[in-house]
Amino acid sequence: MTGKQRRRAISTMVLMLLSAVPSMTTFAATDGAIPLQQGSHQLAASSTKHPNRTGPVSQADLAPNAKSAVVMDYATGKVLFAKNADVRLPMASITKIMTMILIMEALDDGKLTLKDKIKASEYAASMGGSQIFLEPGESMTVEEMMKGIAIASANDACVAMAEHLAGTEAAFVEEMNEKAKDLDMRNTHFANCNGLPAANHYSSARDVAIMSRELLKHKEITRWTSVYSDYLRKDTEHPLWLVNTNKLVRFYDGVDGLKTGYTTEAKYCLSATAKKPDGFRVIAVAMGEPKSTTRNAEVSSMLNWSFSQFESKVLYRKGQLVQQDVPVGRGSPKHVDALAGNLVGVVSARGSHPKYHSEVEIFKLRAPVVVGQKIGVLRVFDGDDEVARTSLVAAATVKRAGFWETVRDIVTFGTAK
């Protein structure tokens, strides 16, 4: 038995013992990150261009022991509660949310399949902290790597995936930072893909909520993040039992993710998401909690408060038909349907009974039009206040009409049918 195999066996025994004690959640306590920069500023509420930067609607301190905390409505991105939301703090293994975003995007784009084999380099296998004890040269499928990352917070699996997708971890981290910019994460910088201690590696509670929301747009992610326990290498001589570092997936109804984090510097961090049967989903983030039990209790309180105080309603789903037969000048065909470019939802205080109305703006179109092209804007109002908006996109491609088709239209224009 090699040294790493011996550690696998010991780790499995330890996990079996710890899983029997719900309050003991520190077995992933060696992963994390140390930022050099720390600062604080509160962003003012912005326009609907960035609805996730709406100010909090409650002054209650739901997380008194956290250094910072945020509750965000998933459907709208509206912040329902904020405490030091934009302070830059160590994020530990919450880092892996961004790593999983890039993996899920690669799956969506066809660059990966869940059955693809990923080989661990010597560097990937050398990662400390939480791990699945990859041996240099050992191969696992993407499905197995995702189990390791999402359930057991495996640092070695993160690096193996990063090297497979980008060639090197450094190149993958550049992509992580580019994605953070795209998401308008103003107080985040990544130095690695797994959250192990590194300089200049930090985030904020608001930014963690933003990237959590982005990850949840990939519906398949909860097939891993919601699992409490599973196995890797199950039919081998060295099976590894995985136990979710997020105990709320077992002890809070509706929680199906998302990611924990711990280091000495970061303390106990968690981005948790829960969904009610009616579809109302929220994201609760707590950073810098003193104990895992305190973290779990305060995140549970934030979830309870959200579901008791607010209700969310989806008005239009992504791809839903909004307006039929939008005219297209010199088009063949002459019309195209307009679809909602993104999900449009609203969140309101329970019992407030807002009255929403929608307004549609359609651009003047001229062929050619390509499928998915922005062709208008849908706005939702509560009274005079705009509360949501999305682009309207073309449901199909419209080519430019040919010469004889154009002549025929001119000749038949105004003729009774």
- Residues with active-site annotation: 93, 96, 153
Q: Which residues does 76 contact at the CB level (< 8 Å), separation at least 6?
A: 51, 312, 345, 346, 347, 388
What tokens were used for 195?
């959250």
Listed in sequence order, the residues at least 6 apart from 126 whose beta carbon sits closer than 8 Å to its beta carbon are 156
One-letter amino acid identity for 173? Answer: V
Contact 204, 35 (CB under 8 A): no
Taking CA atoms, 4 is separated from 11, 125, 149, 234, in Å, by 10, 10, 19, 17
Phi, psi of 357 (to 5 degrees): -140, 150
Please give the Cα distance from 252 to 250 (Å, whole number): 6
Contacts of 362 (CB under 8 A, 6+ apart): 323, 326, 338, 375, 376, 392
Provide the β-strand partners of residue 312. Answer: 347
Contacts of 406 (CB under 8 A, 6+ apart): 330
> Please, are residues 336 and 326 in contact by the beta-carbon 8 Å criterion?
yes
Phi, psi of 215 (to 5 degrees): -65, -40
In 3D space, the residue among 51, 78, 81 whose CA is nearest the CA of residue 69 turns out to be: 81
Instruction: Count Cα neighbours of 57 within 13 Å in the Cβ-side half-sphere.
Output: 16
Which string of b and e fits 233-253 if b means at least 16 CB within 10 Å? Answer: beeeebebbbbbbbbbbeebe
Contact 246, 224 (CB under 8 A): no
197 vs 379: CA distance, rounded Å: 44
Map residue 367 onto helix, strand or coil: coil
